[in-house]
Structure 1
Amino acid sequence: MPSEFELIRRYFSRATSHTDLAGGDDAALMHTRPGMQLAVSTDLLVAGTHFFGDTDPHGLGWKTLAVNLSDLAAMGAEPRWAFLGLTLPTVDEGWLSSFADGLFACASRYGVDIAGGDTTRGPLALSITILGEVPTGLAITRCGGRAGDDIWISGQPGRAALGLASLQGKVSLSTTAQAECVGALQRPVPRIELGLELRTLASAMLDVSDGLLGDLGHIVECSGCGAIVDVSHLPLQPLLDLGVSEASARRSVLAGGDDYELLFCAPPRHRAALRQLAQDSGVALTRIGELHERDADLMLREADGRLLAPLFSGYDHFA
C-alpha cells in the first residue's frame, strides 16, 4: 500500500502557475499582487451529510473545489490558491485518481493552484481552504444592503434540491430532468466571472448554499434591513417545465440548498446595467424583491398582494 506521501505525490502534486513554493515542504509560499486584499474561505464536505458515499468521485472532486470557489465569487474575488484536507477510510487508488482528476479539472478551469494540503485515515471527509484576491476596498460583503435596493438571484436555483430529492426517492423526474438536476447537484458552476462583474454594481452579496430564504436572512440581518420577496417573480417556470408541481418548484427555489447561485442586492439605478450584464454573460439574472426598512422583516408577497411570513427557510446543520 502506498504511503501518505506517495499518495500526495502521485495524485495531488501537479504544476502550479502562481505559487512560489507549493506542496512538499512544511508550508507553501506565495505572494499577493500590489493593491490586493486576500479573501480566504474554507468548507468541509462529509460523506453521509453533504454527499452520498457512492457519489461519482470525479464529480465529487469538482464539487469539493467548486463550492469554495463560489464563496470567493460571492465576495467578487479572483481565486488563486487552494489547500486540500482529505480524510480517507481506505486507500482506493481508482477512486483517488478519478477524484483528483475532477479536482484539477475545476482548478484548471478557474486558474487555481492546488498549493498543498494533508491526508489522513478516518471517515471520508473533504476540506478545502481557498485563497483569492480582490482589489482593496472592492470586496462585496453581506452588510452593504440598504432599504430600497433590489434583490436579485443568478441562474436557476432549485435544480440541485430537486436532484437530491430524486436521489432520495422523494420526487419523480423524467430521465432527462433527473440528469439535469442531479448534474446541478453534483457539478455546480461557481459564478466567478459574474462575481467579478458585480464588484461595482452589487451592494451586498452571498452564494446560495443553504437555501435562498435562509441565506437572504443573513443579508437582512447583517445589513439591518427587512426584505420582501415577490413569489410571482421567482424563476419557477423552468422547474415546472421539468414536470414538478408548483408547490415543489416553489419550495425548491426558496428553501433548496446546494445551488451556489449568487444572491445579491443592488440599487434600482443599476437595473439596466444588470440586464445588459445578463445578456452579455449568458447568465440569467432575476429581480425577485427588494429590501425595506428593518421593521418590514423578511416576508413573501403573493401574487394577490398579500404579505405572508415564510413557512420554511433553509438548511441548518444543527437544527
Structure 2
Amino acid sequence: MAGVDVAGEFETIRRLFAPLAHPEWGRGLRDDVAVIPSKPGHDLVLTKDAIVEGVHFLPADPLDTVARKLMRVNLSDLAAKGAEPFGYLLACHWSERCGWPERMTFVDGLRADQKAFGVALLGGDTVVTPGPASFSMTLMGWTPKGRTVARMGARVGDLVFVTGNIGDGWLGLQAAQEKLTLEADRIAALLEHYRTPTPRVEFIGPIRAYASASIDISDGLIADLEHMAAASGVGIEIDLEVTPRSAAGQAWYDGRVDEQAALESLVTGGDDYEVAFSASPRDEATLRREAGRRHLRLTRIGRVTTGEGVVARFAGQPVTIDRSGFAHG
C-alpha cells in the first residue's frame, strides 16, 4: 500500500537493489564502498544529477519513468563529454507514499535502462523522508585519456549543431499538466519525451572525434549555449527559424500566431537532453554522414563568433530573450 514502509533500508537493498549491482565492482552491495579498477589509457568521467518531486517530476509521474529519467539525464551529460558509461551510485529519498510496490516500480525502471544502456549499480544509500521524494545519481564513464570534450574549446568560425529536436521536454511538461490541446498521439509522444528522454549515447564517438566543445541541453538551448560560450570565451549566434521540431512540436508551433514567441518558448523551456556542440566547418559533411548512419537528426543552428554570450536571430534580426532557460536554486 502506498505510504506504508514495508521494508527497512537493508531489506530494500537486499531484495531490490542487490540484483542490479555490478557483478564484480559493486561487491553485491554488501559493503560501504565500491572498488573500481583503473582502466589503462583512459580518464574516469563522473557526473551527478538529482531530481525532486514537484520540481523535476510530477507527483503523478509513474516511478519507473522517474527512475529512467534520472538515469537518462545523467547519460546525457556523459554523452556530451564523449564518455562511455559503465556504472552508477544511487541515493533514494523515499517519501511517505513510496511503499514496497512503488519501490519495486522504481527498480523496474532502473533495470530496464541498465539493460538498454549497459550500466550497473555500484552502491549508494536509501532513506525515508517526510518531505517529497527525491533521487540522486552519480554516473561514471570512461574516455580515452585526454579526450573528454569540455564546454570550453569552441573556436571563432566553428559551426554550432544540435542533435534531435528542441522543445519537446517543455511541451511534454505542458501536456502532463493538461495545458495543451493537440491530437492524442501528439500528446502521447510529448509525454514520452518528457518522462523518458533519449540520451544521445549513440553519438558519443562522433562527438569525441569532432566536437571542439559540447554540452547537453537540460536548462534550455539558449541557457546551455550561454554556458558553453562563457566557458570558451566566445560568442554564439543562432537562427531561431531553424530550431529543429518534432512532428508534435511542429503541430503545436503551427497553431501559434506569434512565431517568434513560440520559438523562444521552445529554446528556453529545457528538459530536452539533446547535445549541442561546436565543430569545424570542414567536419560538417562527416558529422552529417555519421548522424545519418545512426538515423539521428542533426541540425546546424548557428556559428561561433567573437564577443560573448548568445545572440538569437529571427528573420535575420537579433531578438531580446528575457529568460534564457531554467534557473537552479
TM-score (norm 1): 0.94
Looking at structure 2, the residues matched to 83 and 161 of structure 1 have their Cα atoms a distance apart, in angstroms, of 28
The one of 198, 201, 207 equivalent to 2:216 is 207
- Which SS does the other structure have where 1:13 is aligned? helix
Aligned to 2:318: 307
The one of 9, 14, 18 equivalent to 1:4 is 9
User: Contact conserved, 2:43 with 2:143, CA < 8 A, in 1?
Assistant: yes
| Cα separation, partners in 2 of 1:44 and 1:111, compared to 1, 3 Å | same
User: Contact conserved, 2:148 with 2:208, CA < 8 A, in 1?
Assistant: yes
Aligned to 1:240: 250
Match of 1:55, as an amino acid? D
Looking at structure 2, the residues matched to 39 and 274 of structure 1 have their Cα atoms a distance apart, in angstroms, of 24
Aligned to 2:109: 102
- Which SS does the other structure have where 2:29 is aligned? coil
User: Contact conserved, 2:26 with 2:123, CA < 8 A, in 1?
Assistant: no
Looking at structure 1, the residues matched to 49 and 209 of structure 2 have their Cα atoms a distance apart, in angstroms, of 27
- Which SS does the other structure have where 1:218 is aligned? helix
Aligned to 1:62: 68
The one of 29, 49, 61 equivalent to 1:43 is 49
Please give the residue correspondences for 1:252-291 in structure 2 after superposition, counting only pairs within 5 Å.
Answer: 252-291=265-304
| Cα separation, partners in 2 of 1:33 and 1:22, compared to 1, 3 Å | farther
Match of 2:294, as an amino acid? S
The one of 102, 120, 124 equivalent to 1:113 is 120
Task: State the Cα distance separating 1:105 from its structure 2 match.
Answer: 1.0
Cα deviation per residue 1:215-261 (whole Å; 9 max; x = unaligned)?
A: 00001100000111012222147322355424564134311111100
Aligned to 2:148: 139
Aligned to 1:87: 93
Cα deviation per residue 1:94-135 (whole Å; 9 max; x = unaligned)?
A: 111111010121111111110111011113110001111111
Match of 1:306, as an amino acid? Q
| Cα separation, partners in 2 of 1:99 and 1:225, compared to 1, 3 Å | same
Looking at structure 1, the residues matched to 161 and 61 of structure 2 have their Cα atoms a distance apart, in angstroms, of 32
Cα deviation per residue 1:246-304 (whole Å; 9 max; x = unaligned)?
A: 45641343111111000111110111001101110111000000010025x4212222x
Looking at structure 1, the residues matched to 55 and 246 of structure 2 have their Cα atoms a distance apart, in angstroms, of 30
The one of 101, 119, 125 equivalent to 2:134 is 125
- Which SS does the other structure have where 1:127 is aligned? strand
CA RMSD across the alignment: 1.7
The one of 298, 302, 308 equivalent to 2:310 is 298
Looking at structure 1, the residues matched to 72 and 244 of structure 2 have their Cα atoms a distance apart, in angstroms, of 23
Looking at structure 2, the residues matched to 249 and 172 of structure 1 have their Cα atoms a distance apart, in angstroms, of 15
Match of 1:186, as an amino acid? R
| Cα separation, partners in 2 of 1:301 and 1:46, compared to 1, 3 Å | same
Looking at structure 1, the residues matched to 73 and 291 of structure 2 have their Cα atoms a distance apart, in angstroms, of 22
User: Contact conserved, 1:40 with 1:129, CA < 8 A, in 2?
Assistant: yes
Looking at structure 2, the residues matched to 244 and 190 of structure 1 have their Cα atoms a distance apart, in angstroms, of 29
Looking at structure 2, the residues matched to 85 and 244 of structure 1 have their Cα atoms a distance apart, in angstroms, of 42
Aligned to 2:195: 186
User: Contact conserved, 2:47 with 2:138, CA < 8 A, in 1?
Assistant: yes
User: Contact conserved, 2:236 with 2:305, CA < 8 A, in 1?
Assistant: yes
- Which SS does the other structure have where 1:263 is aligned? strand
- Which SS does the other structure have where 1:117 is aligned? strand
Task: State the Cα distance separating 1:168 from its structure 2 match.
Answer: 2.4
Task: State the Cα distance separating 1:198 from its structure 2 match.
Answer: 1.4
The one of 238, 245, 255 equivalent to 1:229 is 238
User: Contact conserved, 2:260 with 2:314, CA < 8 A, in 1?
Assistant: no
Give 5+ residue unaligned stretches, structure 1. none
User: Contact conserved, 2:22 with 2:87, CA < 8 A, in 1?
Assistant: no
| Cα separation, partners in 2 of 1:248 and 1:52, compared to 1, 3 Å | farther
Identity, % of aligned positions: 35
